[in-house]
Structure formats: structure tokens, C-alpha cells
A and B are shown apart, each in its own frame.
Chain A
């Protein structure tokens, strides 16, 4: 098992290296100079040159890259050009916000999907089923930021039930922080539940038609037992893959939702730092999300056997 994990992590190394090179080059290809952004549009050539030297941007590209990599493997991702803060601190703080929103939302969406999908499949073609499918399909078609904006308008502005600006970290006030997160989490939950519900329903329908389910029923088992102990574990596997993919993708930051609700999350950090050419932050973030992506994929693969004993992790 450990050997498998180790091997997988090792295999991910070339990918991580390619990501590092890719982001390093990509961000530098975008026209615009971080030194100029810092100094503003009145800067003279001398100050610009000085600032570029300060930021280490005047050294040849390979040197810059190797210096960055060398520090990165030791855990030092450098400092933000814009704010001077250590990149690793920035990333961890922003990731914490994103992680809370994403993990809670995906968990809720999964629970919702499991329940709705199972029940809809169990009562296939009934009006309940149609309602579930209809809702899931409509939800799939909604742009997430539009949903967020509408929620903001409704619950934040018009009704005033929920706060939506001035994010408060948990360390300061758990109650306030929780309130701020209600709408973003709700938006994300709704958005993600659509596709998960449909997947769960589809695989549940498939499993419900299988022989051993008929056998289980014939044996006289209660329907709830049939559903929870025979249908669910087998139907869940494809949904689990999807959950994993979704998590790996969302933990990279949900830039649009974070923008709508002005949450200091990882997605916004990445977009803002690209838009201000904050090279160290962009590079650090991408490296971080790539690692998260690899780890999440690995965890999902390892969880597979829990739900389907026929699948063994090789």
C-alpha cells in the first residue's frame, strides 16, 4: 500500500516539473512588467531598472527559474511582489478559506446527490423522479456566478439576512465567519449537486436492475436495507470518481464565486496575481494546486476499494 502511494507520488514528479516550467514561462509571456505596476505610470527608467533588479527580474530566465525551484523544494516560495508577504503564508491563508467553502459545499452536494439520486432511481419515472431530474438538469444549466449574484441581491441586499462583505476569519469570530460563508457555500452546493445527482441516479438505476438486488429483495430484506447496503455502495463508485475530480478541480480555487462574494480564497489570489503580474505568487499557487490535484486523485483512487471490494488498488 505504502509502496503504491510512493510510486504514484513519484510518477507525479514529471507532471509537477512540467507545471512549474509551464507556469514560469506562461506568466512571463504575458505583456506587462511587475516593476512598472509597482511604480506606476510616472516612473522613470532609472527607478524601473532599479526595481527590476530588486525583484531579481534582470537575471537570465534559466537562472531565475533554477533559483525559484531551488528555494521551492526547501519550502521557500519567495515573497509577493505586490505585498511583500511570504508566498507560502499567502497561499495557506487563502487556501484555508477556499478549502472550507469547497469541502463543506462538496460534502453537502454529495449527501444531497446520494439521497436524491437514490430515491429518484428507486422511484424511477414517478413524479418525484421527474422533479429530481428536472431540478438537477436546471441547476446544471445555471452559471454559478449568476446564481451567486442573484443570492447576493436577494439575501444580502434586499432581505438583509446575510452579510456578504468583509470576510472575517474563524480566528476572530467563528459565528460571523460562518455567516459570511453561508451564501458562497450554498451557491457552490447547488451548482455542484446537479451533475452529482444525475450521476448517482444513473448508476443507481443500473444497479437496481442487477440480479443480486432482485435476489436481496426476494430474500425478504427490507427495502431500506437493500438500498443502503446493496445498491448504494455499488452505485456510488462512479459518483465518487466525479466527486474526486470535482474536489481536485475546485480546490484549485473557485475564482468566480470568490469574486462575487469577495472571499479571500485561492482562486481570487491566482486571478489577482495574474492580473498584477505577481510572478512568485502565481508560480507558487500553481505549484500548490498541482500538488493538491495529485494528492486528491490519489486519495480518491485509494477510497475506491472501500466502496467496491472487487476493485483492488494495484
Chain B
């Protein structure tokens, strides 16, 4: 039942994004200074914001931007983290020590602050946000991957591969990697949620995707001064974020259940 809900939510999200690629009720960045802050009605299903921009169109574009941003972050963090985690967990020794010290160092920085600092250095742009968030999340991936690698590196088929003369790299890629995929996939779904939330938190603190591009995060943050007169401005992006996260989490749960190592072995 929850799986179906998850599919429905994520499906709705994907549909919104796909439809948004070809059609949106209004131009999401066109301002209309004559009709600011109008409540939801037939002309504007979700109302307009302080510049008269259509909230529905902005939410649709925001879906695309927020989701792509989160996906890019997750992809970068997963690729980097898996590579480093594999190296650390499989090779052990000094490589492991060095990588774990680096990982701990980054983990010791409060995530928001690290992202804030990196974005301030790199300038406010999509790529700097992705880079900053990925940097903040890579250590978690490294830890999980390393932990899983540690637990399976002693297993028989790994031994077999080693005695057969495969190089470390070959063993890592051909035998270890496929077996650590399940926890990585599960982690990726959690990471997606965190990335989405973090982007909105960063926008909330004032360092998000630059205008006029809408993200759910900066729509939420821009709605603050108008919360009590234009509540829809806060509710719509908040629900979008919550709905997406809910769908992703439910799907992630279903994935985890199916990929449960106990079921696999």
C-alpha cells in the first residue's frame, strides 16, 4: 500500500517535470506588477507571488530544478564516495587511515556551514551548490561503503578472485562493487531527500539558486514575509517538498525491503 503511494507520488512528480518541459500555464519568470499576491483562483491555480509570477508554473519549473539539483548532488556524492569507500575498505592500511581522517575532518564541519562557505567562495550558481552539497555528503557515503566493503571482503568469492590472480582493481570492480550496490542504492534514496532539504535550507539562509530561477527551497524562503497574508506561497512549495520526499522515502523503503541482504543470501 505504501509502495503504491510512493509510486503515485513519484509518478506525479515525474509527470509534472515532463509536462513542464513542454508546457507551463504561464512563463515562470515573467513578472506582473499589477497582480501581485493574488490568491488561488481559476486564472492562477496556486495564486501569484510578490512579483505577480504564477506559482503553479514556478512550482513546475522548480520541480525540475530542485530535482535535477538533488540528483546531480547525489550522483556526485555517490560516485565520489563509492570510489573512496572502496579504496579505503578494500585496500586498508595507510590508504584507509588517510581517507578516514579526511572523511572525519569533513564530517566534523557542520554540513550547512561547509556548504555555505564553499558557495560563498565559489559564487552562487547551480554548479557551486551541487559541488558544495556533494562535498558535505560524500563522507557519509564513504563511511557506509567502507563499512560494507569491510564486511564482505573476507568472503569466499573475494578470496577466490584474489587467488585467481586478479589485480586489486579488478577484484574491486568485478566482485566487490556489485555486492555493495544494495546499501548504496538505499543510501542514494536517503541522500536525495537530504539534498532536497539542504537546498531549501541553503535558500532559507540566503545562499540558494540565484533568481529568477525558482526552486522549492527559494520559493519557501521568499514566502516568509508574506506568510500571514499569502499563506499559499509557503504551503505550496512546502507540500511539494514534503510530497516528493514522502514518495522517495516510500520507494526507498520498498527498495530496501527487496534488496535486504538477508533475503539475498
Contact = CB atoms under 8 A, between A and B. Distances in A.
Contacts of A274: 113, 116-117, 120
A294 interface: yes
Contacts of A133: 2
A29 interface: yes
B108 A141 contact: no
Contacts of A153: 227-228
A19 B108 contact: yes
B102 interface: yes
Contacts of A142: 238, 242, 245
Contacts of B112: 255-256, 267, 271
Contacts of A19: 105, 108-109
B136 to A, nearest CB: 11
Contact of B201 (A141, A145, A270): A145
B249 interface: yes
B197 interface: yes
A293 interface: yes
A290 B238 CA distance: 32
B193 A141 contact: yes
A294 B205 CA distance: 27
A26 B224 contact: no
B165 interface: no
Given A26-B117, A255-B112, A14 B101 contact: yes
Most chain B beta-carbon neighbours within 10 Å: one of A14, A141, A150:
A141
Nearest to A147: B238
A293 B224 contact: no
B101 A143 contact: no
Contacts of B228: 153, 157
Contacts of A150: 234
A27 interface: yes
Contact of A141 (B120, B204, B246): B246
Interface string A249-261: 1001101100100
Contacts of B116: 271, 274
A290 B102 CA distance: 13
B121 interface: yes
A146 B243 CA distance: 13
B243 A256 contact: no
Nearest to A146: B238
B117 A289 contact: no
Interface string A271-288: 100110000000000100
A289 B110 contact: yes
Interface residues of A, number: 44
A15 B205 CA distance: 28
Contacts of A137: 2, 246, 249-250, 253
Interface string B107-148: 111111100111011000000000000000000000000000
Given A153-B228, A256-B201, A141 B243 contact: yes
A18 B102 contact: yes
B86 interface: no
Contacts of A157: 228
B37 interface: no
Interface string B151-176: 00000000000000000000000000
Contacts of A31: 120-121
Contacts of A162: none
Contacts of B238: 142-143, 146
A146 B234 contact: yes
Nearest to B221: A145
A306 interface: no
Contacts of A289: 108-110
Contact of B113 (A140, A141, A271, A293): A271
Given A140-B249, A145-B204, A22 B109 contact: yes
Contact of A15 (B105, B249, B253): B105
B193 A252 contact: no
B138 to A, nearest CB: 15
Nearest to B248: A141
A134 B246 CA distance: 10
Contacts of A23: 109
Contacts of A143: 197, 200-201, 220, 238, 241-242
Interface of B: 2, 101-102, 104-105, 107-113, 116-118, 120-121, 193, 197, 200-201, 204-206, 220, 224, 227-228, 234, 238, 241-246, 249-250, 253
8 contacts: A31-B121, A143-B201, A146-B234, A149-B234, A255-B113, A275-B206, A289-B109, A293-B108
The 6 closest A-B pairs by CB, nearest first: A141-B245, A252-B110, A290-B108, A30-B120, A18-B105, A141-B246
Given A31-B121, A253-B113, A256-B112, 20 more contacts: A15-B101, A27-B117, A29-B121, A138-B246, A140-B193, A141-B193, A141-B241, A143-B200, A143-B238, A143-B242, A145-B201, A255-B110, A255-B113, A267-B110, A271-B113, A274-B113, A274-B120, A286-B113, A289-B108, A290-B109
